[in-house]
Homo-oligomer: A and B are copies of this chain.
Amino acid sequence: MAQVTIGNSEFDRDTAVVRRAPGHYEADLSAGWTIIHAVNGGYLLALMGRALGDALPHPDPFSVTAHYLTASVPGPAVIRTEVVRTGRTMSTGTATLVQFEEDGSEVERLRVLAAYGDLDTLTDDVRTTAKPPAIPPYEHCLGTENAPGGQPAVPGSTAIADRLTIRLDPATCGWAVGAPSGNGEMRGWFGLADGRDPDPLSLLLTVDALPPTAFEIGLTGWVPTVELTTHIRRRPAPGPLRVAITTRNLAGGFLEEDAEVWDSADRLVAQSRQLARAPRSASTLA
């Protein structure tokens, strides 16, 4: 079996795009990156990121904003990109992802606006004052196999769970045993199940891959993302990532989720914030 590497992995195959013409790409949204029937937002972001990396003269996402308009479904999709501006060290572009109704009409799923650059040209100065999250060692964190009962509640509901290796901080797992802490926090270790190392595109997936902080606040139901903006600040070192997500402003039917991704070299490699609709049900799990 071929060695899994960046470029040769489940993630790369499922986020591949084929350029048919300048600014026109075909993709196939994989059913492997869904939660129940919903295609994961980070997976979609990574797909768009791959197309934009091809369309723009700079290779790496620096700041990517996505607005999620309608629910994507597994199957064919088209991504169209536009070059907004190219500069010496950065370029800006937009992208739209559409799918097709039975009558052939288009429905737009996402709209993206992004700035790209070259992460290999960043200077070496590091004055980061943020600290890596205090997450217990990997062996002491909990994965889906530790879930009560062993099997997911809805068979086949966790296709994306088979693609990822996530181990959650027990302090943010109360929701899974009917005892949410009430704190808007979610933390854990993150890796791709086939062992592929992280890279700037997989970081776009990573920021939207953990369970919602809303679960730990004590809310159930979907937490649909309206908008997600991700900053990629450094090419991640090989090895597992630590993700820490915080919600501090659940109000008015909306909430924000701030995610930080730290690599094995203790560098803050990605930061994101999303605006999401709070679950309609405010029922508690307890």
Contacts and interface: CB of A to CB of B under 8 A. Distances in A.
Interface of A: 62-63, 65, 67, 69-70, 84-85, 90, 92, 94, 108, 111-113, 115, 122-130, 183-184, 217, 226-227, 229, 231, 233-234, 247-254, 256, 267-268, 271, 273, 275, 282
18 contacts: A62-B254, A65-B113, A67-B84, A69-B92, A94-B94, A113-B113, A115-B227, A122-B253, A125-B250, A125-B251, A125-B252, A127-B250, A127-B251, A128-B249, A231-B256, A233-B254, A234-B251, A249-B271
Nearest to A124: B252
Contacts of A111: 84, 92, 94, 113
A233 B111 CA distance: 22
Contacts of A229: 65, 227, 229, 273
B67 A115 contact: yes
B122 A226 contact: no
A115 B226 contact: yes
Contacts of A252: 122-126, 233-234
A33 to B, nearest CB: 23
A200 B2 CA distance: 55
Contact of A113 (B67, B108, B127, B271): B67
A1 B154 CA distance: 68
A60 to B, nearest CB: 12
Given A69-B92, A125-B253, A253-B123, A227 B84 contact: no
Query: Ordered nearest first, which 8 A-B pairs have the shortest CB separation?
Result: A122-B252, A130-B248, A113-B113, A65-B65, A127-B250, A63-B227, A123-B253, A126-B251
Nearest to A247: B129
A253 to B, nearest CB: 4
Nearest to A119: B252
A94 B69 CA distance: 13
A130 B126 CA distance: 28
A201 to B, nearest CB: 18
A256 B272 CA distance: 11
A81 B253 CA distance: 28
A125 B214 CA distance: 14
Given A67-B84, A84-B108, 12 more contacts: A62-B254, A63-B275, A65-B113, A67-B92, A67-B113, A94-B111, A122-B252, A127-B250, A231-B256, A231-B275, A233-B252, A271-B273
A192 to B, nearest CB: 24
A126 B253 CA distance: 9
Nearest to A111: B84
Contacts of A65: 65, 113, 227, 229
